[in-house]
Amino acid sequence: MLSPSAGKPVPKNELVNVASLLSAYYEYTPNSAIEAEKVVFGTSGHRGGALKKSFNEAHVLAIAQAVCEYKKEKGYNGVLYIGKDTHALSTPAQMSTLRVCAANGVHVAISKEDAYTPTPLVSFAILEHNRTSDEAADGIVITPSHNPPQDGGFKYNPPNGGPADTDVTSVIEKRANEILQNALKDVKTVSYEEALASEYVCEHDFIEPYVEALGEIVDMQAVQKANFKMAAHPLGGSSIEVYERIKSCYGLELEIIHPYVDFTFSFMTADHDGKIRMDCSSPYAMASLVQLKEQYDLAFGNDTDSDRHGIVTPKGGLINPNHYLSVAVWYLFTHRKNFTKDLKVGKTLVSSSMIERVCQSLGVNIYEVPVGFKWFADGLFDGRLGFGGEESAGAAYLRQNGRVWTTDKDGIIMTLLAAEIMAVTGKDIADIYAEFEEKFGRSYYARIDAPATAEQKKILKNMNEDSVTAETFGGEKIEKILTRADGNGAPIGGLKIVTANAWVAMRPSGTEEIYKIYAESFISEEHLKSIQKEAQKMMQELFL
């Protein structure tokens, strides 16, 4: 249900109390016997809240110690690059992490002058280091992504530069919980001052090398020549300084909206549920930028760690993430000479089938995986995937010469790519997508969430083909029932039903007490609603 506050400024009395939040980080002690207070690595690291005792200093100390032990076990002797976003808990969490790393003799690199560091810049730094060094570097990004202001998060990126796979996170998660259960007795620490003064902590310029190399991934000359009037909205996140450098380096007419950090994110408009959420794919969170669409040739935003993108054009307003992914794939494989048919396009199984129809028209193969960008990391790293994208507005692609750029989502190159596409084609992103609908049919796509207990989520996660007894769905014959992704054979953690002109996927959330139903129809809005109702009925019967 849509909140009456959606798309509106949040009242001052509902903003997070930063002082209480920081106090809770240090003073609250999680109970390792309570499931909700344990370390849990979802699709993108461990996330939680200090006030809920799910992201406190104890969690960070335990995870950091587990990461240090994992590095030594694997022989990763290179630098550990550490980035952080602008959530209030990110800086204290970085401080806690440095105390552990220095005590364990792990060399770390943090941003110069304690600046904020976007996720893609950490991935970029790891890959650039490992390209010329025999000592394997890896990284940590302290961020809960687009989550509300009171949340914190911790991600580990191994030497391939991308989000750690489950074979890695399961080891770190298990060890961190053992440390928590043992009252942190296994954690090695020094004081924060000792850590900074030690030989193990150094500063690194994450921004300049990344900005200077942008011409290798985006046709910045075309963007310059177009002389667009553009706006970038970092949503108070870590890309503020990056866009400032991009603006000066390439001489762009680029206005940066709200170029400052506010831990309460008071300038945000509420998301669909009335909460502050820095989700650049949400029309409610992005309402203030969408209102300005006619003032710019192109406007765009990123979430707080800059791994997601939101594209706003005069004709299309906030472009649906699935629509933009389809346009980006078409453009790259028709305008990059090194994007040959040997490369595949990675998509999550809940992303729009319009991507598949575009690829089929180009003779390009699809690599479909479960939810989570980690599934694309190896393919981007070794050059098998030209592009990897997910429905939640996260994507990355190869450089113009076919070499890897980042193996984590990069919202910054996706916003700049939109400028290149419009500059080269002379068309609005919305107009290009409209051409796809004329050629391939119109997509009706939606996701709905519903409450689910831990037991119900477990039932859903363990569904199999036998869970579906019907032969038809939405009036069409069922062609496929998937519990594993076609691309890599990895478990979906739910179920996907495919017919000739539609599909539906049901899976539990990894971080919230809800389950999600994703559905798409190429027939009509009414047909979409009918398959959603069938899916809900199936879930209700399953939970009885």
pLDDT tens track for 162-192: 999 999 999 999 999 999 999 999 999 999 9
Lowest mean pLDDT among 17-26, 271-280, 341-350, 454-463: 454-463
Residue 348 inside a domain? The answer is no
Domain final residue, candidates 151, 179, 206: 206
pLDDT tens track for 43-60: 779 999 999 999 999 999
Residue 266 inside a domain? The answer is no
Domain housing 485 = 444-543
Residue 519 inside a domain? The answer is yes
Q: How much is the pLDDT for 450?
A: 83
Nearest Cα residue to 96 out of 169, 178, 189, 181: 189
Residue 199 has pLDDT above 80, yes or no: yes
Report the pLDDT averaged over residues 370-388: 96
Q: What is the mean pLDDT of the chain?
A: 96
Q: Where are the beta strands (DSSP E) in 68-120?
A: 80-84, 108-111
Here the CATH number for the domain that contains residue 113 is: 3.40.120.10
Nearest Cα residue to 56 out of 173, 189, 150: 150
Distance CA 543, CA 459 (A): 8
Residue 130 inside a domain? The answer is yes
Distance CA 23, CA 91 (A): 13
Q: Which residues are catalytic?
A: 145
Contacts of 516 (CB under 8 A, 6+ apart): 447, 448, 449, 506, 507, 508, 509
Residue 451 has pLDDT above 90, yes or no: no
Residue 130 has pLDDT above 80, yes or no: yes
Helices (H), 286-443: 287-290, 321-335, 354-362, 377-381, 411-425, 429-440
User: What is the percent of the chain where pLDDT is above 90?
Assistant: 91
DSSP 8-state class, residue 76: -
Neighbours of 87 (CB within 10 A): 32
pLDDT tens track for 212-259: 999 999 999 999 999 999 999 999 999 999 999 999 999 999 999 999
Residue 463: pLDDT band with limits 50, 70, 90: confident
Residue 220 inside a domain? The answer is no
Distance CA 45, CA 37 (A): 15
Residue 481 has pLDDT above 80, yes or no: yes
Give the chain's domain count.
2
Residue 55 inside a domain? The answer is yes
Distance CA 473, CA 214 (A): 46
Here the CATH number for the domain that contains residue 481 is: 3.30.310.50
Domain final residue, candidates 206, 227, 248: 206
Distance CA 483, CA 272 (A): 30
Residue 199 inside a domain? The answer is yes
For residue 184, CA distances in Å to 87, 177, 179, 180 come to: 25, 10, 5, 5
Q: How much is the pLDDT for 44?
A: 76
> How many angstroms from the chain centroid is the CA of residue 467?
31
Residue 390 tokens read as 């997910």
3-state secondary structure 178-209: HHHHCCCCCCCCCCHHHHHHCCCEEEECCHHH
Residue 259 tokens read as 């170029």
Domain final residue, candidates 152, 172, 206: 206
Residue 516 inside a domain? The answer is yes
Q: What is the pTM of this model?
A: 0.96
Report the pLDDT averaged over residues 524-541: 93
Lowest mean pLDDT among 108-117, 443-452, 497-506: 443-452
